[in-house]
Every structure is written in structure tokens, then in C-alpha cells.
């Protein structure tokens, strides 16, 4: 066979930033971000977690890959922001009150703030999951989960791969349609959406076919047999890995402490609480350190 050849760097699987750490460390930190995004409602904390997610994604050059998640998060956030105040009529500072047939509409400043807080919460949560999906090594996820349950691993593995694979398929199908002469990028967003409508059917069919093919391939290659082993290039635990794992562990402890002492929540009703009130407690400052230090530090890591 032909000898060694040059390989272009874009084809290599080397990762930078947080993704360059051991998979267990990456799992610990990204899971910490997801858990924090789930349990914390204080908007200042949420903004900090959001920033940490973006820094972590940037450390591995994955911001562009996260663009689809960001779009989904913003659309979902705007929807929550618009709808929530209509149904959350608590609060003592009314902005608008009206009788619409049998419905009494009451919009308050507190309701609007609650909607904004919920939107921020949703956006942070989506971005935290995006960080987990994009930064954590997918092959590691499969290996890790297959130890617990082969079937669950298959489902989770296919699901986490779905978005990147779908986005690649979508790009290929879009290119094919453009090559066929379809104008997908002309006009306003409504025209573009209409032009892209037919692609959706093709994309869905293709992703279903792909899912079936991958499942057939896994089955015929022995996936699910008892006694599975896991091979990967041996990576040494470095001081940095241990430090990040410790920071993530510390973060989990802070979440537990904060949860017990009710420092992580935030009240919008009857009046909007002061977000700085719980933000400056020692456990909150420690939590912020656990959120930010690995994210900022990861910007300096190269494999």
C-alpha cells in the first residue's frame, strides 16, 4: 500500500480547549453546567452560566457549530417572553388591564420580568445542552453508556449524533437543490422558508434511512454482545485534568449547598427581588468561580 502522506489539519480529530481534556473531565464539567442551568433561576447566575457555555464552546472553536442551537434558543426564548406575561398576572405593578370577552387580561411589570427570566433560563439550558453535545466526545458517550445498557446507549448515541448528522445532511441536500437550480437564499425569511419547505421531507426521509442503516451496521458488527471492551488511546491524567475535575466537583457541592439554603432561586412575585442579594454570598461567589475558572482557563489549552 502507499506510504505515509500529508493529511490536512481540518480532517484531524484533534480537539482544543475544553474538548482536549480527558472525556471524564469534560463530562464532569459540562454536566455541572447543565445541572446548574437546570436548578438555578437567579438571572445573574444564568447570565454567568450562559457566558461560561459560550467561552467553553469558543475554546474548541465550536461557536459556529453551535449557531443552530443559538437560533433555536433565541426563537424559543422570544416565544416564552411574549406568551408568559399574558398568563402570569401576579405582581403589584400593573401595566395593562383589560377585559377581552370572558378573559380578564392583566399584564404586570413582574409578569414581564418573569417572562424574561424564563426566556433566559430556557436559552441558558439549551446552550448548556449544546455545550455538552458539541464538546463531549461522542464515541466516549457511546462507550460509557454501553457499559450501562446497550440499547439505551444506542438510542442516546443516535440522538446526540442526530443534530450534527442532520445538519451535514441538510447542507448536502441544500447544495444538491441549489445545483438543481432551486433559489434557497433569495428574498425575505418567509420566501426562504417556503423555498426550503420541500427539503424538509427529503431530510427526514434521509435521516430515517440513515438511522436504519447505522442500526443494521451496528447489529452486523456485533453491537450488543456481552463482554464488550472499550479501547482508546491511553491518555494520562494531568494536573489540569485533576484541577478541572475538582472544580466541577466543587461546583456540584455548591449547587447542593445553594439548593438547601435556597440561594439559587429568584422571586418575581409579588415584587421583583434584588438579584444581587444572593449573588454576593460566599457560596455564590465560590459557585461563580467553579463556573468561570475552567471556562476561561480552557481558552489557553491546546492539544
Partner 1 sequence: MAPLVSVEKLTYSYPEGREDSSPTVRNVSFQLDAGEVVLLLGESGCGKSTVLRALNGLVPHFYGGTFAGRVRVAEMDTRSSRPRDLARVVGLVFQDPESQSVMTTVEREIAFGLENAGTPVASIGRLVEESLVALGLSHLRRATLSTLSGGELQKVALAAVLATQPQLLLLDEPTSQLDPVGAEELLSALRRLSEDTGTTIVLAEHRVDRCLHMAGRVLFMDSGDLVLDTTPSAFASWASTMHPEFLPPVTRLFAPGHRLPLTVRDARLAMNDGTERFAEPQWRNPDPVSDSNPASSTHYASHRANDSSADRGTLSVRRLSVGYPPDPPLLDDIDLELHTGRIVALLGENGCGKSTLICHFNGLRQPMAGSVAINGRLVSTMSVAEAARSCAILGQNPTDYFVHETLSRELDYSLEMHTQPGPARQYLREAIIHDLELSELLDRNPRDLSGGERTRAALALLACAHPPFLVLDEPTRGLDPTAKSALADLLARWAETGMGILVVTHDIEFAARCAHRVILLGDGGILADGPVEQVLDGSLFFSTQINRLLRHALPGVLRAEQVIIRDRETESAA
Residues that bind partner 1 (CB under 8 A): 1-2, 4-14, 137-139, 142-143, 168, 172-173, 175-186, 198-199, 201-202, 205-206, 209-210, 213-233
Nearer to partner 1, 262 or 302 (CB): 302
Which three-class secondary structure state does DSSP give residue 98?
strand
- Residue 173 burial (CB count, 10 A): 17
CA distance 244 to 246: 5
Nearer to partner 1, 100 or 201 (CB): 201
User: In angstroms, what is the minimal distance from the CB of 143 to partner 1?
Assistant: 8
CA distance 143 to 139: 6
* Cis-peptide, bond into residue 36, ω within 30° of zero: no
User: In angstroms, what is the minimal distance from the CB of 28 to partner 1?
Assistant: 21
Nearer to partner 1, 7 or 98 (CB): 7
Q: Which residues pair with 96 in a beta bridge?
A: 107
Answer whether 134's CB lies under 8 Å from 58's CB. Answer: no
CA distance 251 to 286: 8
Nearer to partner 1, 209 or 277 (CB): 209
User: In angstroms, what is the minimal distance from the CB of 67 to partner 1?
Assistant: 17
User: Which H or E element spans position 290?
Assistant: helix 282-298
User: In angstroms, what is the minimal distance from the CB of 6 to partner 1?
Assistant: 7
Nearest Cα residue to 166 out of 204, 119, 113, 116? 204
User: In angstroms, what is the minimal distance from the CB of 221 to partner 1?
Assistant: 4
User: In angstroms, what is the minimal distance from the CB of 68 to partner 1?
Assistant: 16
Nearer to partner 1, 173 or 286 (CB): 173
Answer whether 22's CB lies under 8 Å from 237's CB. Answer: yes
C-alpha cell of residue 10? 481540518
Tell the burial category of 271 from Cβ atoms under 10 Å away from its Cβ (0-12, 13-18, 19+): middle
User: Which H or E element spans position 15?
Assistant: none
User: In angstroms, what is the minimal distance from the CB of 173 to partner 1?
Assistant: 5
CA distance 19 to 55: 12
C-alpha cell of residue 78? 422570544
User: In angstroms, what is the minimal distance from the CB of 11 to partner 1?
Assistant: 4
Nearer to partner 1, 149 or 217 (CB): 217
Nearest Cα residue to 265 out of 278, 254, 276? 278
Nearer to partner 1, 51 or 218 (CB): 218
Q: Which residues pair with 107 in a beta bridge?
A: 96
Amino acid at each position: 500500500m502507499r506510504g505515509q502522506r500529508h493529511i490536512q489539519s481540518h480532517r484531524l480529530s484533534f480537539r482544543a480547549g475544553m474538548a482536549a481534556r480527558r472525556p471524564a473531565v469534560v463530562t464532569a464539567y459540562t454536566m455541572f453546567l447543565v445541572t446548574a442551568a437546570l436548578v438555578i433561576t437567579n438571572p445573574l447566575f444564568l447570565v454567568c452560566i450562559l457566558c461560561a457555555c459560550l467561552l467553553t464552546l469558543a475554546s474548541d472553536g465550536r461557536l459556529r457549530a453551535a449557531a443552530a442551537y443559538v437560533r433555536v434558543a433565541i426563537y424559543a426564548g422570544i416565544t416564552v417572553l411574549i406568551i408568559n406575561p399574558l398568563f402570569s398576572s401576579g405582581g403589584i405593578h400593573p401595566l395593562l388591564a383589560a377585559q377581552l370577552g370572558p378573559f380578564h387580561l392583566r399584564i404586570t411589570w413582574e409578569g414581564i420580568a418573569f417572562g424574561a427570566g424564563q426566556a433566559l433560563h430556557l436559552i441558558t439550558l439549551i446552550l448548556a445542552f449544546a455545550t455538552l453535545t458539541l464538546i463531549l466526545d461522542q464515541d466516549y458517550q457511546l462507550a460509557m453508556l454501553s457499559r450501562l445498557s446497550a440499547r439505551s446507549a444506542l438510542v442516546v448515541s443516535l440522538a446526540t449524533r442526530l443534530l450534527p448528522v442532520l445538519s451535514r445532511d441538510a447542507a448536502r441536500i441544500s447544495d444538491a437543490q441549489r445545483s438543481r437550480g432551486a433559489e434557497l437564499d433569495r428574498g425575505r425569511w418567509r420566501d426562504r422558508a417556503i423555498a426550503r419547505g420541500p427539503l424538509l421531507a427529503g431530510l427526514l426521509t434521509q435521516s430515517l434511512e440513515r438511522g436504519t442503516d447505522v442500526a443494521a451496521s451496528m447489529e452486523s458488527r456485533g453491537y450488543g454482545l456481552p463482554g464488550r471492551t472499550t479501547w482508546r488511546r491511553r491518555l494520562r491524567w494531568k494536573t489540569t485534568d485533576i484541577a478541572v475535575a475538582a472544580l466541577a466537583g466543587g461546583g456540584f457541592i455548591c449547587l447542593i449547598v445553594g439548593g438547601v439554603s435556597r440561594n439559587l432561586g429568584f422571586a418575581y412575585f409579588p415584587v421583583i427581588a434584588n438579584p444581587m442579594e444572593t449573588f454576593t454570598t460566599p457560596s455564590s461567589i465560590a459557585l461563580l468561580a467553579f463556573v468561570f475558572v475552567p471556562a476561561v482557563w480552557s481558552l489557553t489549552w491546546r492539544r
